[in-house]
Chain A
Amino acid sequence: MGNIQLFPVQGSTLAPEVDHLLYFFLAVSAFFTLLIFCAIFFLAIRYRRRAANELPEAGHTGYTLEILWSVIPFGITMVMFTWGASVFFKAARPPADAIPIYVVGKQWMWKLEHMEGRREINELHIPVGKPVRLTMTSEDVIHSFFVPAFRTKQDVVPGRYSTVWFQATKPGKYHLFCAEYCGTRHSGMIGWIYAMEPQDYENWLSGGAAQGSLAENGKKLFQDLACSNCHKEDNTGRCPALPGVFGSTVHLTGGATVKADEAYIRESILNPQAKIVAGYEPVMPTFQGLVTEDQVLQLIEYVRSIGAKPAPGSAPNSPASAEKPATPGAAPAKR
């Protein structure tokens, strides 16, 4: 039997905030629970039946009391709502300089990919003191990325990207759980988060077999799959040139516009007929089933990496390129 532990470790900047919120809820709950328990106990003893034929007076309803015990709980719950929402919104918005990491969940393992190319399974190494942003998707069913020490979780849903971010505050080894039931070995879909001192993290990151960065692998894939035959850089192909597209606003056939983010690039690869760029024919075949979720992520990272380089004679939809960082794999494009 393990040693008794009644409170989880605080491992992230969010953890103390969630815990403070919890203390407030615990205090309110303890107060009302004790109030009700004591009131019942006291009243039941004080007014216990003393004679079998006793008939108490009926009494009357006091509207003051009814209003009082409606308004007071309402006031308290609104404090709960506001505080709870503010913690959540802080947790929902990743800082612009967060380190991007990709996560693919599948029955029953976590695959994690760093920009620089290191890949991990059921383990994630992160630096302490720096925000980390995960972009996650699933190859099959819904999973959920849950790190109790960081007090956060986010569902990982097939067919879309979800994000979660955290900033570890002290080095350590923390549980990673899948929190959404996903089939037979759901309880085996677990792993470890290794929070490391930044220097150790840099060393770790540069170690391991050279596998090429995500963007480099994406570029290779872009050529292997012959994407480059149509998506010519000089915009002479049958399909739009991709440099400068990422993060820009794309004009579509029919007049609508769409922000070129991860979800849009993913959809354009797997379901190219869904949104056609204005001025182009719907000639692209689907790559559904031909590329894995990991490969889609590599392709997205490649498109992101060329997002900052305006192509010569570029498409009219790339003016936003200037505001994006030029280094592949550095800070993510502002979205």
Chain B
Amino acid sequence: MQLTAEREHYLNASYGLKSWLLTKDHKRIGLLYLFTITLFFFIGGAFATLIRLELLTPQGDLVSDDVYNRLFTMHAIAMIFFFMIPSIPAVLGNFFLPIMIGARDLAFPRINLLSWYLLVAGGAFALFAMIAGGVDTGWTFYTPYSTTYANGWVIATALGIFIAGFSSILTGLNFIVTVHRMRAPGMTWFRMPLFVWANYATSLIQILGTPVLAVTIVLLFVERVFHLGIFDPARGGDPVLFQHLFWFYSHPAVYIMVLPGMGVISEVISTFSRKPVFGYAFVAFSSVAIAVLGFLVWGHHLFVSTQSAFAGLVFSFLSYFVAIPSAIKVFNWTATLYKGSISFETPMLYAFGFIGLFTIGGLTGLFLAALGIDIHVTDTYFVVAHFHYVMVGGTIMAFLAGMHFWWPKITGRMYPEGWAKLSALIVFVGFNLTFFPQFILGYMGMPRRYHAYPPEFQVLNVLSTAGASVLAIGYLMPMVYFTWSLKYGKVAGANPWGATGLEWKTASPPPVHNFDETPIVTHDAYDYSTVHGEEIQVG
């Protein structure tokens, strides 16, 4: 397809701030989300930087204990609620889910725009709380500390999360209806790209789980503001009830964060192997299985909470079932490489990184699901390392894989391959140096959320901080070269990778309504015979 300066696409169809702030185009809304979450990523990253600097020395000497407690709380809140949860679904899902199933837009474009405004409104409350003095409850808001004892901006922050939750619910609703109702002719369920399956499964969790978070926040509000006894035992409440409610959402939320990333990895592995994903149906259903099982395992966060030992037994047992669909995905991705035609562009490097780090993150989850090990390592740095392997090693690697993979489609420009490969390498090395020592720290017994720590933990903490500075460089580089490529990047064709999805059958950047005419789907996903020939135009 020939790209001319005159061709109209979604970026040049209209100009001005208003054309963006009132847009109903899912692609523009995806970019609005990209700006928002990037802002929160760097806010959360700045908090992380200060945390790592404080932990260079055993004494609490850089910031005071109150400041430190606010730093780790606000790091988590910025990263989880305003970066991770919206990241892949609301940016890449928003942009590509409709195109990948051959639709002109999401089912409810106005609701889609509303979802973004809700995230911004929630983010504004959270930002206000951060600037006004912060909150120190931990992102988990455990009671009765959060309802009775904490002095920070608990309500403003909780309200921000409450509002952002509706953004998540509405996005999930939009995706589900779109997948059910807007598929192009011939796009049957089992021809859908696995990225769509993953986002569909994620949406199920978003609409079923997030309301429970909203209820929990309302109860927290009622106790903190009106002093009704719900969680505080001094008022006749039950503090552990809060943990049940909180984790009933927040464990599934882990899968909200990681499932879309798994979808990205399926697309990338297939494209850069030129092979259909091995065991397509198993990979598709494993996403749904993870979504369903995710609702049955919240009690594994409560093994030492005074939850009954038998409840612990049941939750430990059920938690192991999540290992099966996770293992199925990892093995199938690896098997996809077999007899493929593998090339090593940046998205593929990130995908390899994802598989390796997610494998470690997933396997260490098995340690935590084991009652006998959990009583030692829960609430230590072992947990911190584990969830960063899943969230940062998994989701952020997948997000970067997806950003590089679809950047030519989003902007019509190629990113500089050499710099990008270097940044992928730096991220991988920096990540492991930051978080691997924390597994050891945790088993040694260093509790999480400690402002000061005994001197024997220092060496590992210094390693971790050194790794974090490497990691920071790795994350800043894409910011620079992505921006650079907008003007100086090589112009991208419609299908620079020789990929199969419908998004590669339309121009880069796509026209306002995605396709000049509605595509008719006649092949399974990942059928590379359909793109073979003149359309494969690798670098």
A55 at the interface (CB under 8 A from B): yes
A43 at the interface (CB under 8 A from B): yes
Q: Tell me whether A18 and B372 are in contact in the complex, defined as CB-CB below 8 angstroms, given that A1-B459, A81-B316, A181-B138 are known contacts.
A: yes
Residues B459 and A84 in contact, CB atoms below 8 Å apart: no
Residues A53 and B532 in contact, CB atoms below 8 Å apart: yes
Residues A78 and B320 in contact, CB atoms below 8 Å apart: yes
Residues A146 and B445 in contact, CB atoms below 8 Å apart: yes
- The CA of A65 and the CA of B453, in the complex, are separated in Å by 48
Residues B149 and A142 in contact, CB atoms below 8 Å apart: no
Residues A148 and B444 in contact, CB atoms below 8 Å apart: yes
Among A113-121, A152-160, A235-243, A244-252, the stretch that binds chain B is: A152-160
- The CA of A81 and the CA of B370, in the complex, are separated in Å by 6
B447 at the interface (CB under 8 A from A): yes
Q: Tell me whether A187 and B376 are in contact in the complex, defined as CB-CB below 8 angstroms, given that A44-B342, A70-B324 are known contacts.
A: no
Residues B371 and A84 in contact, CB atoms below 8 Å apart: yes
Residues A155 and B305 in contact, CB atoms below 8 Å apart: yes
Give the contacting residue for B149; candidates A8, A25, A141; CB below 8 A: A141
Residues A159 and B462 in contact, CB atoms below 8 Å apart: no
Among B102-110, B188-196, B356-364, the stretch that binds chain A is: B356-364
Determine the residue in chain A with the shortest Cβ distance to B529.
A55
Q: Tell me whether A36 and B323 are in contact in the complex, defined as CB-CB below 8 angstroms, given that A22-B373, A44-B342 are known contacts.
A: no
A144 at the interface (CB under 8 A from B): yes
- The CA of A29 and the CA of B528, in the complex, are separated in Å by 35
- The CA of A148 and the CA of B440, in the complex, are separated in Å by 13
Interface hits, B349-406 → A, CB 8 Å: 352, 355-356, 359-360, 363-364, 366-367, 369-376, 378-380
Residues B452 and A187 in contact, CB atoms below 8 Å apart: yes
Residues in A neighbouring B481, C-beta threshold 8 A = none
Give the contacting residue for A32; candidates B280, B363, B369; CB below 8 A: B363
A85 at the interface (CB under 8 A from B): yes
Q: Tell me whether A188 and B343 are in contact in the complex, defined as CB-CB below 8 angstroms, given that A21-B372, A29-B366, A53-B536 are known contacts.
A: no
Give the contacting residue for B370; candidates A25, A37, A180; CB below 8 A: A25
* A107 CB to nearest chain B CB (Å): 7
Among B119-127, B162-170, B232-240, the stretch that binds chain A is: B232-240
B: contact size bracket:
35 or more
- The CA of A178 and the CA of B527, in the complex, are separated in Å by 56
Determine the residue in chain B with the shortest Cβ distance to A159.
B233
B337 at the interface (CB under 8 A from A): yes
A261 at the interface (CB under 8 A from B): no
Interface hits, A82-96 → B, CB 8 Å: 83-89, 91-92
Give the contacting residue for A144; candidates B233, B317, B379, B451; CB below 8 A: B379
- The CA of A57 and the CA of B352, in the complex, are separated in Å by 22
Residues B338 and A43 in contact, CB atoms below 8 Å apart: yes
Residues B378 and A77 in contact, CB atoms below 8 Å apart: no
B266 at the interface (CB under 8 A from A): no
Residues in B neighbouring A52, C-beta threshold 8 A = 536, 538
A54 at the interface (CB under 8 A from B): yes
Give the contacting residue for B279; candidates A43, A66, A74, A81; CB below 8 A: A66
Residues in B neighbouring A151, C-beta threshold 8 A = 375-376
Q: Tell me whether A153 and B366 are in contact in the complex, defined as CB-CB below 8 angstroms, given that A43-B342, A58-B275 are known contacts.
A: no
- The CA of A4 and the CA of B462, in the complex, are separated in Å by 12
B339 at the interface (CB under 8 A from A): yes
Q: Tell me whether A154 and B65 are in contact in the complex, defined as CB-CB below 8 angstroms, given that A1-B458, A25-B367, A37-B356 are known contacts.
A: no
B312 at the interface (CB under 8 A from A): yes
Give the contacting residue for B306; candidates A33, A36, A160, A182; CB below 8 A: A160
A223 at the interface (CB under 8 A from B): no
Give the contacting residue for B274; candidates A2, A18, A55, A177; CB below 8 A: A55
Residues B305 and A36 in contact, CB atoms below 8 Å apart: no
Residues A47 and B320 in contact, CB atoms below 8 Å apart: no
Residues A73 and B343 in contact, CB atoms below 8 Å apart: no
Residues in B neighbouring A40, C-beta threshold 8 A = 334, 337, 352, 355-356
Q: Tell me whether A180 and B142 are in contact in the complex, defined as CB-CB below 8 angstroms, given that A22-B373, A44-B342 are known contacts.
A: yes
Interface centre among A1, A28, A180 (most CB of B within 10 A): A180
Residues A58 and B458 in contact, CB atoms below 8 Å apart: no
Give the contacting residue for A85; candidates B313, B364, B457; CB below 8 A: B313
Contact with A along B267-279 (1 / 0, CB 8 A): 0000001111011
Determine the residue in chain A with the shortest Cβ distance to B280.
A61
Determine the residue in chain A with the shortest Cβ distance to B334.
A39
Residues B339 and A56 in contact, CB atoms below 8 Å apart: yes
B208 at the interface (CB under 8 A from A): no
Residues A47 and B340 in contact, CB atoms below 8 Å apart: yes
* A34 CB to nearest chain B CB (Å): 10
B331 at the interface (CB under 8 A from A): yes
B309 at the interface (CB under 8 A from A): yes
Residues B355 and A36 in contact, CB atoms below 8 Å apart: yes
Determine the residue in chain A with the shortest Cβ distance to B444.
A8
Residues B309 and A89 in contact, CB atoms below 8 Å apart: yes
Residues A55 and B372 in contact, CB atoms below 8 Å apart: no
Give the contacting residue for B359; candidates A33, A85, A183; CB below 8 A: A33
- The CA of A3 and the CA of B148, in the complex, are separated in Å by 41
B477 at the interface (CB under 8 A from A): no
Residues B366 and A77 in contact, CB atoms below 8 Å apart: yes
Give the contacting residue for A61; candidates B60, B278, B343, B380; CB below 8 A: B278
Residues A84 and B372 in contact, CB atoms below 8 Å apart: yes
- The CA of A1 and the CA of B145, in the complex, are separated in Å by 34
- The CA of A84 and the CA of B331, in the complex, are separated in Å by 25
Residues B275 and A59 in contact, CB atoms below 8 Å apart: yes
A130 at the interface (CB under 8 A from B): no
Residues A177 and B372 in contact, CB atoms below 8 Å apart: no
* B229 CB to nearest chain A CB (Å): 11
Give the contacting residue for A17; candidates B136, B372, B450; CB below 8 A: B372
Determine the residue in chain B with the shortest Cβ distance to A74.
B324
Residues B455 and A2 in contact, CB atoms below 8 Å apart: yes
Contact with B along A92-108 (1 / 0, CB 8 A): 10000000000000010
Which 10 pairs between the two chains have the least Cβ-Cβ distance? A148-B445, A159-B233, A84-B370, A87-B372, A88-B371, A43-B337, A187-B450, A2-B455, A77-B320, A179-B379
Question: 30 A-B contacts, Cβ less than 8 Å apart?
Answer: A3-B456, A5-B444, A5-B456, A18-B372, A18-B375, A33-B356, A33-B359, A40-B355, A43-B342, A44-B344, A48-B342, A48-B343, A54-B341, A56-B341, A57-B339, A58-B529, A65-B279, A70-B324, A81-B317, A84-B369, A84-B372, A85-B370, A91-B375, A142-B142, A144-B304, A159-B234, A177-B445, A183-B145, A184-B69, A186-B449
20 additional contacts (CB under 8 A) given A40-B352, A88-B309: A1-B459, A29-B360, A33-B359, A47-B273, A48-B342, A59-B338, A73-B327, A85-B372, A88-B371, A89-B309, A142-B144, A154-B375, A155-B304, A159-B234, A159-B239, A179-B378, A184-B65, A187-B450, A188-B452, A288-B234
Binding site for B on A (CB under 8 A): 1-8, 17-18, 21-22, 25, 28-29, 32-33, 36-37, 39-40, 43-44, 47-50, 52-59, 61, 65-66, 69-70, 73-74, 77-78, 80-81, 83-89, 91-92, 107, 140-142, 144, 146, 148-149, 151-155, 157-160, 162, 175, 177-188, 271, 288
